[in-house]
């Protein structure tokens, strides 16, 4: 093997490793989001996200189907979903919000940085369970 071939090999394996790391990081976020979802969200939104959790019946507003947040043919609105989950920027005039303000709850329990990564993981999990996926 000459020098050039060795360099190519090093570059290729570094790229491969980077890709593998990125992929496992992706899976890590979705899996973390799934665990947070089961613990904090499934009571109202249901295990499958369709809005039929055991606590749903006692709410004035029925919890929406979270598998249908992505409009047909469009990208998953991840920033919008993160803001809704965080809850602190949502305008109160939009009605009495029955959903807990997760941004405040997670920040109190885990601090600012972990709160952000929890909300990101939850949004990535919701993206993974969308009924409609853009091509």
Where do contacts with ligand HEC occur on this chain (CB under 6 A)? Answer: 40-41, 43-45, 55, 59, 61, 63-64, 66, 69, 81, 84-85, 97-100, 102, 122
Among all chains, which residue has been given the structure tokens 């803001």?
Answer: 83
Q: How far is the CB of 90 from ligand HEC (least distance, A)?
A: 8
- Cβ closest to ligand HEC, residue 10 vs residue 89: 89
Place of tokens 């807990």: 100
CB count within 10 Å of CB 99 equals 16
CB of 59 to ligand HEC, least distance (A): 5
Tell me whether residue 84 or residue 115 sits nearer to ligand HEC (CB atom). 84
User: Which CB, 81 or 115, lies closer to ligand HEC?
Assistant: 81
CB of 100 to ligand HEC, least distance (A): 6
- Angstrom CA distances, 72 to 75, 112, 130, 131, 134, stand at 8, 33, 10, 9, 7
User: What minimum distance in Å lies between the beta carbon of 88 and ligand HEC?
Assistant: 13
Instruction: Report CA-CA distances (Å) from 59 to 31, 41, 67, 74, 110.
Output: 28, 14, 19, 30, 27
Name which of 21 and 71 has its Cβ closer to ligand HEC. 71
Q: Which residues contact 9 (CB under 8 A, 6 or more apart)?
A: 1
């Amino acid at each position: 093997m000459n020098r050039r071939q060795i360099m190519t090999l090093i570059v290729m394996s570094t790229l491969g490793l980077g890709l593998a790391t990125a992929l496992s990081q992706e899976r890590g976020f979705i899996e973390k989001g799934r665990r947070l979802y089961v613990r904090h969200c499934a009571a109202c939104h249901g295990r499958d996200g369709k809005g039929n959790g055991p606590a749903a019946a006692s709410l004035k507003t029925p919890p929406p189907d979270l598998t249908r947040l992505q409009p047909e043919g469009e990208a998953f609105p991840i920033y919008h979903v993160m803001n809704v989950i965080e809850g602190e920027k949502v305008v109160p005039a939009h009605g009495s919000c029955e959903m807990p303000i997760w941004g405040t709850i997670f920040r109190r329990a885990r601090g600012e940085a972990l709160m952000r990564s929890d909300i990101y993981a939850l949004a990535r999990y919701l993206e993974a369970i969308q009924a409609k996926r853009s091509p």
